[in-house]
Each structure stands twice: as C-alpha cells, then as structure tokens.
C-alpha cells in the first residue's frame, strides 16, 4: 500500500527522537446501526501489520451505536437555554454553547452534576480560572460534538455524544484483526486530543496522543475516520 497523507497534513511525525508514519484509511460515511467491528475490520484488515497501532475516531463509534441526534429532533428545556448562554465560545468548536448540546449534556450527565459544574465555574471564573465546568461535568459533557458546517453530511446538522464501552470496542477490534496490533478509540482534533479506550497502557496512550497531536485525519471532509501508526 502507498500511504497518502490528508491535505495539509504530514505522513510522518517525529516524537522524542523517533519517527512514526500515520496512515489515514478512507471509509464510506458510517451510519447508525452499522456493526462498527465489521466496518473497521473491512477497511483495516488489508492495511495493518503486526506491531501497528490502529486508531479509530470516537465519532464513528458513537454514530454506529446510535448516539447521534439531528439538532431539530432535540427540544432544549429552559434550563439548557439559560446555561448555554454562559458557555465561553472558542475556536475549539461549539461545545455546549448552544441549547441543543447543553440539553444533551443534561441528559447524559444529570441535571445536578451540570448545575454543580456551572456553579463552581461561575465562582472560579471570577478569579480568572477557566475550564472548571468541563472538569467537573466530566468527559461525557466535554466530548459532546455539536454541528459544524465543515463536517460530512448528515452529521453537519447533528449532535454526537461520546461512545459507550470504548475500551471494550478496542479489544473487540484487536481480536477481530488477529491480536497482533494495538487499538485505540481516540478523540483527536486540531487542538489536541485524548484516548477514550484502548488495548494499551496509560503510558502508551499518552505517547499516542503526542504522535497524533497534529490531527493527521483532518477535521473536515476527508472521510478518513481511522488510521494506523507505524514506526517509520
């Protein structure tokens, strides 16, 4: 296979004196109800080699699990509308800064937790400290993706939640692909990322985030929701 990087991305990245290939894998647009193990295995089995690390974006796992909702199907409660007004809008994305995504955070995390996070954030923000809302609300709130114009349809008009059982999915994929590779379900964007579940140690997860720090899969219409890390 001849590896081709996504536009504006580099195929090889040097980290701590080592070089790694990041090979993007193109797929069809994954829809709700598809078998994510079958889909990923179908596209990756002829590409992976023993010793590779397969990384899969959390978004396609969540979509396959049916955790994607059209914005116009979400009816925000008054509390969601009120709280969303106080979310700081950044270039990182919409986050919970729209009533529909805040509504999903209330459903996912529970009203008491979101209210407590908002109360703490209101106090600490007055002292110049940022980020407490998402720290307290937790990864299920932090990982909610709102609609963006540059996302592949139909997900440019949908809210996508964090996938369930990410570690279990990673192990199922490892088994399906022969067991000689590592697998990670990742949330990577142009501003950083994290591993939601994997077959690796915590130290290796941290290394993987560094290798993928420049988001080699891209953030727009690339249709490459999975890829391989391989020593160059």
Q: 179: which DSSP letter?
A: S
Write down the pTM of the prediction. 0.89
pLDDT at res. 70: 95
CATH class of 1-67+177-187+214-232: alpha beta
Predicted pLDDT of residue 91: 55
- Among 89, 98, 72, 58, which residue's Cα sits nearest to residue 188? 58
Closest CA to 56 of 70, 42, 69: 42
Least confident of 4-18, 41-55, 81-95: 81-95
pLDDT tens digit string along 93-138?
Answer: 678 989 999 999 999 999 999 999 999 998 998 888 888 898 999 9
**What is the tens place of the pLDDT at every residue in 213-225?**
888 887 666 688 9
Q: What is the pLDDT of residue 90?
A: 59
Q: Where in the chain is the domain with CATH 3.30.1330.100?
A: 1-67+177-187+214-232
**Structure letter (DSSP) for residue 29:** -
State residue 66's pLDDT score.
Answer: 96
Exposure string (b/e) for 93-122, b if CB count within 10 Å is 16 or more?
bbbbbbbbbbbbbbbbbeeebbeebbebbe
Maximum distance among all Cα pairs of the chain, rounded to whole angstroms: 54
Per-residue pLDDT of 153-195, as tens digits, reads 888 899 999 999 999 999 999 999 999 999 999 998 766 688 9
pLDDT in tens, 41-84: 999 999 999 999 999 999 999 999 999 999 999 999 999 999 99
What pLDDT was estimated at residue 193? 81
pLDDT at 2: 60
Please name which of 106, 112, 167 lies closest in space to residue 141, comparing C-alpha atoms.
Answer: 106
CB within 8 Å of 10: residues ≥ 6 apart? 22, 214, 216
Q: Rounded CA gap, 23 and 222, in Å? A: 13
Q: Inform me whether the pLDDT recorded for 36 exceeds 80.
A: yes
**Contact yes or no for 119/137 (Cβ under 8 A):** no
The predicted structure's pLDDT at residue 169: 97
pLDDT at 89: 64
């Amino acid at each position: 296979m001849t590896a081709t990087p996504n536009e504006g991305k580099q195929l090889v990245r040097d980290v701590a004196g080592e070089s790694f290939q990041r090979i993007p894998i193109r797929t069809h647009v994954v829809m709700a109800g598809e078998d994510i193990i079958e889909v990923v295995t179908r596209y990756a089995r002829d590409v992976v080699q023993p010793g590779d690390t397969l990384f899969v974006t959390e978004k396609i796992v969540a979509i396959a699990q049916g955790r994607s909702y059209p914005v116009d199907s979400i009816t925000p409660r008054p509390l969601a509308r009120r709280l969303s007004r106080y979310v700081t809008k950044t270039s990182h994305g919409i986050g919970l800064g729209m009533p529909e995504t805040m509504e999903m955070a209330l459903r996912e995390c529970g009203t008491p937790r979101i209210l407590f996070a908002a109360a703490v954030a209101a106090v600490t923000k007055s002292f110049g400290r940022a980020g407490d809302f998402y720290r307290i609300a937790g990864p299920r709130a932090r990982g909610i993706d709102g609609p963006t114009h540059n996302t592949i349809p139909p997900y440019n008009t949908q809210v996508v939640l964090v996938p369930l059982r990410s570690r279990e999915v990673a192990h199922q994929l490892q088994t399906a692909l022969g067991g000689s590779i590592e697998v990670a379900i990742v949330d990577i964007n142009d501003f950083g990322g994290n591993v939601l579940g994997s077959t690796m140690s915590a130290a290796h997860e941290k290394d993987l985030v560094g290798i993928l720090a420049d988001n080699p899969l891209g953030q727009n219409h690339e249709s490459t929701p999975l890829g391989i890390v391989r020593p160059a």
